[in-house]
């Protein structure tokens, strides 16, 4: 039985404004009365924010609209929760968060909102993005290119962060002339990694550095090819799992477990999985 004072929170909102107010009121109640919610801080909520963002992207990739609706709600909850914490600390509230975002969108779209730009429409997406980046630089007072690289969030997945850092460096001309330079760098870094391993396989620090250099150079190739390195790697991970599943299923069909098979036997099944996939293309 719902407590009488909270009965109104169980009624569906009639419009967007009421919906936001309902979520805000629910979180205020939880913050006041739930032991777990009372203990949360910006820092403790940080893993949840990342997890919900990734789950939202998963729903988009899977084209699962029902799940996407749910995950967007979880992301919105995170935004409201952090805003309530800011309100309690006297730093900002939900109104400030929303107003600042609205003002930023208006500032960064002068071709839409400013009257004096009405006769000079920016029609191409490239021009819009160029304008967006120029306005961001002006807003943040980024007087040097290095500051733009440094402001790429460290919390991003490493492949995505590398891609963005390289793109910002390329914007000021620090880049290969074409993809051949990027391919050559991959070969060079591969040799250096192998040489380091051959000379001192126990030097983990040196190997970590060389491996990082190799991965960074591979991201450069992906940038030249116009391929998202995260999406590319995730595709390969899914492909690996799919083929591994075929190997295991085939082994079980023969009455064997994988740990009872030799690597050569598993490789043979792996090749079968590859051939089967290619025949279906």
Average the pLDDT over 69-90 and give the result: 97
Average the pLDDT over 118-129 and give the result: 58
Residue 161 in contact with residue 212, Cβ under 8 Å?
A: no
Average the pLDDT over 249-273 and give the result: 94
160-218 pLDDT tens trace: 999 999 999 998 899 999 999 999 999 999 999 999 999 999 999 999 999 999 999 99
CATH number of the 4-92 domain:
1.10.287.1080
What's the pLDDT band for 144 if we cut at 50, 70, 90?
confident
Task: Report the pLDDT value the prediction gives residue 118, as an integer from 0 to 100.
Answer: 47
Residue given tokens 């919390």 in the structure block: 155
Between residues 131 and 239, which one has the greater pLDDT? 239
216-257 pLDDT tens trace: 999 999 999 999 999 999 999 999 999 999 999 999 999 999
Residue 216 in contact with residue 188, Cβ under 8 Å?
A: no
- Read off the tokens for 207: 């190997």
12 — phi, psi (to 5°)? -60, 140
Radius of gyration over every alpha carbon of the chain, rounded to an integer in angstroms: 26
pTM: 0.68
19-34 pLDDT tens trace: 999 999 999 999 999 9
């Amino acid at each position: 039985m719902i407590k009488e004072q909270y009965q109104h929170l169980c009624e569906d909102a009639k419009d967007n404004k009421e919906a936001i107010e309902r979520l805000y009121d629910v979180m205020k109640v939880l913050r006041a009365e739930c032991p777990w919610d009372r203990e949360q801080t910006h820092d403790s909520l940080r893993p949840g924010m990342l997890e919900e963002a990734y789950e939202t992207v998963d729903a988009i990739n899977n084209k699962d609209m029902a799940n996407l609706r749910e995950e967007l709600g979880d992301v919105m909850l995170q935004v409201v929760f952090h805003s309530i914490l800011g309100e309690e600390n006297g730093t900002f509230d939900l109104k400030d968060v929303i107003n600042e975002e609205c003002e930023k969108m208006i500032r960064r779209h002068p071709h839409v909102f400013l009257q004096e730009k009405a006769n000079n429409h920016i029609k191409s997406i490239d021009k819009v993005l160029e304008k967006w980046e120029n306005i961001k630089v002006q807003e943040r007072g980024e007087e040097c290119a290095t500051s733009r690289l440094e402001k790429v969030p460290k919390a991003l997945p490493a492949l995505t962060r590398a891609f963005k850092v390289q793109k910002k460096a390329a914007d000021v001309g620090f880049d290969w002339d074409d993809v051949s330079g990027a391919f050559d760098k991959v070969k060079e870094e591969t040799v250096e990694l192998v040489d380091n391993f051959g000379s001192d396989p126990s030097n983990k620090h040196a190997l970590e550095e060389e491996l990082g250099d190799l991965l960074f150079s591979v991201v450069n190739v992906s940038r030249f090819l116009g391929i998202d390195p995260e999406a590319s790697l995730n595709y390969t991970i899914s492909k690996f799992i799919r083929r591994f599943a075929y190997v295991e299923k085939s082994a079980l069909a023969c009455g064997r477990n994988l740990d009872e098979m030799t690597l050569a036997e598993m490789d043979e099944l792996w090749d079968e999985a590859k051939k089967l996939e290619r025949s279906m293309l």
